[in-house]
Structure 1
Amino acid sequence: MLMICSGYIAPEYLYRGEISTKSDIYSLGVLILETTTREENCRGNKPSAEQFIKKVRENWTEQHIVSEYPSLKADSLRQIKKCIEIGLQCVETDRQRRPSIEKVIDQLNGRHSN
């Protein structure tokens, strides 16, 4: 049986059929979080992006990052923390609170934009 993971689909599209550029930002955020944490969003019988995001918010503290990546130097650990922060901004339930793609790129490049 083929199971389709809806964990990459923005809530406003999944539940109301509304789509915008901010829907793509949500999907990007999930991918950033999966890549950075090395954890999968769609696991088990009932995939839930909500559960995955909650787990990242609660567990991926500075201390946890250090324990997961013990061989990395301080600058690399800061980059991982920043990627998690960016990913969490992208998966905000309220799409108006998600950053634009330009802001995401600026943050990934170490620039701060408003």
Structure 2
Amino acid sequence: MNAQFARAWWRRAATSQRTATGHRTEVVLAIQNEREWEAFCRHVLRQPGLADDQRFSTGSLRVADRALLEARITEAFADLLRAAVEQRLIEGRIAHARMREVIGHPHS
């Protein structure tokens, strides 16, 4: 793996968020570029002003202030059911998936 690919992979992995929704179902999501960040703020969090917050204006800054950002996301999702979160992610065209637990698999 070359260094450029490794840095790009780390940025994608580091900006993916795993957050618990209202019924303790986990949804993994990935914000891969600035268009998706804006759509995430507007459609998913319903906080369009967050896209302009200088603390989160780039992927690197979102990673640097990850604890604060995760708290904002968790707060926004706290009272939502999984279906509502997933619907918002679909509307915002944000890559996501439900976390599933694999029980009894030799690699789990």
Q: TM-score, normalised by structure 1?
A: 0.29
The structure whose residues are more often helix, as a share, is 1
The structure whose residues are more often strand, as a share, is 2
Q: TM-score, normalised by structure 2?
A: 0.30
